[in-house]
Amino acid sequence: MTHQTVGHPARPGLPDDPHADVNAPTSSCPVEITLTALRGRWTTLVIRELLRGDRTFTELRAALPALSDKVLSDRLAHLTRAGVLDRHRRSGWPPRTHYSLTPDGHRLGPVLQALWDWGAGHRPPPPA
């Protein structure tokens, strides 16, 4: 028996995967995994800065001056746990911690670009 989608064209945004046919969000869903990694305000901007190259906490703070130290620390810890960032502590005085994107973190670049492109074409109307 052939797969039910054989001979049918793929539809953009609909994965050709029988596991995608669910009726409620699951933590194992690839879309939910991605959204969980990107959760929280400022997360996409932290990733954007790291797409430009490795950064220290101080460099990230300078690049995003409106971001509080507490929120930056939270986002860096979350992205490290999510496998998006690597954290490297370098010796010396003062010791410095450098953050870099993992290979999976770099793969978020096109995801962020797609989100940008979609949002740029769907700006909400100005408030009345």
- pTM of the prediction? 0.79
Beta-ladder partners of 97: 89
Q: Which domains does the chain have, with CATH numbers?
A: 40-117 (1.10.10.10)
Q: Could you tell me the maximum CA-CA distance found in the chain, to the nearest angstrom?
A: 67
Average pLDDT over residues 95-123: 92
Q: Is 91 helix (H, G, I), strand (E, B) or coil?
A: coil
7-46 in b/e burial notation, b at 16+ Cβ within 10 A? Answer: eeeeeeeeeeeeeeeeeeeeeebeeeeeeebbeeeebbbb
Mean pLDDT computed over 99-128: 91
* Confidence bin at 42 (pLDDT 50/70/90): very high
**Per-residue model confidence (pLDDT) at position 10:** 61
pLDDT at 2: 44
